[in-house]
Structure 1
């Protein structure tokens, strides 16, 4: 019996990782401020196990018309979100934190309202690791932990005129 258990452990599949394990995603979750919202956000830790930096080139999801990597900053007491001008770098042997109040994934033109507990499929495309697809759980309970600068209070002024990926595209 013990031998069978040990054999099963040795034959168990390793965790799903990209490019022979170079990129690993941890702690991912998504939120949307209200059921009527057309935007949402996702947060996670991206661990680069490689000996060279990698770059997050693009993000896609069938849950939204467009997904971008955004950065939050405070300007004159108002939180602003803007798309990163350059691909997000994940340093070699390090972790890039996508977190509230900082760099995060911004979903625009949601296909349907997000419900607590469902999973959002997200494909992250890296320069070296290629595509990594993750199912990001929606955790609306985390809205209660939102800082005063929650998404609904963000200034999206720099996004004016931007194609939000909604109907008519």
Structure 2
């Protein structure tokens, strides 16, 4: 099997599903999300989020260049799965890197395991502990365009989507990079999500968080609150909005 590759995941600030009827076998259902740079899609029980190439030096990748793909992967199935291969027609190879020990040193791996109803071990904060590397571009690829990338999973099968090539200066608001999630304290206004039972915090710093847990009497729509918690990007949800935040405490401030 050719060596594979994955890129560091970006934030997952989601908004609303874009309905795409009658997706064929291996064809992902496209997902429209606000606040993300890259492509979002659902493929069976697999969620691919914010799939994008970091910007090239200058306005394009040249033949012989390497590139980095960032993304986030979630598995909504009740069984584990694994990413076992990644390929693209615009590069000679794609390599998967995983910082499984969260020591800052990613290692090339043959497969990236996805836990049941979860993500990749060690992923937390804005910097997910895995990424892809496209090796030896075979053609010029301009910033702002897209490239097809095929993802093959051990149990879910394979799917192809178009990854956005980020232009210089693009980017999401981000959390401090960390393999071990640090406590976060936020103030803002609570609102209901577009999906039933989903509760969001519109933080004063402009970011939006999906609140997981917490006192429902405090976290009521319209309330001005202070919330403490930890980022939970490894947690797949059906809410499709905001950065997942596992709430440890919340109190009304307004």
Give the TM-score normalised by the residue count of structure 2: 0.43
Q: Which has the higher helix share?
A: 1
Trace 1:83-98 onto structure 2 (pairs within 5 A).
83-84=108-109, 86-96=110-120
Q: Residue 77 of structure 2 aligns with which residue?
A: 50
Residue 74 of structure 1 and its aligned partner are, at CA, apart by 9.3
Residue 28 of structure 1 and its aligned partner are, at CA, apart by 1.1
- C-alpha distance in 2, partners of 1:115/1:100? 25
Q: Larger relative contact order (C-alpha < 8 A, sep ≥ 6)?
A: 1
Confirm or deny: 8 A CA contact 1:31 1:142 kept in the other structure.
no
Return 5+ residue gaps in structure 2 as ranges: 1-18, 23-27, 30-41, 173-254
Confirm or deny: 8 A CA contact 1:124 1:131 kept in the other structure.
yes
Q: Does 1:13 pair with 2:40?
A: no
Residue 81 of structure 1 and its aligned partner are, at CA, apart by 5.0
Give the TM-score normalised by the residue count of structure 1: 0.63
Trace 1:112-151 onto structure 2 (pairs within 5 A).
112-141=139-168
Residue 57 of structure 1 and its aligned partner are, at CA, apart by 0.6
Moved beyond 6 Å, runs of 4+ = none
Deviations 1:5-44 (A, max 9, x none): xxxxxx96276243xx211211111025424561001111
The DSSP-based 3-state class of the residue aligned with 1:52 is coil
Q: Tell me the C-alpha RMSD between the 2 structures.
A: 3.2
May I ask how many residue pairs the two structures share in their alignment? 129
Deviations 1:39-87 (A, max 9, x none): 0011111121110110111111001000010135998xxx755311x41
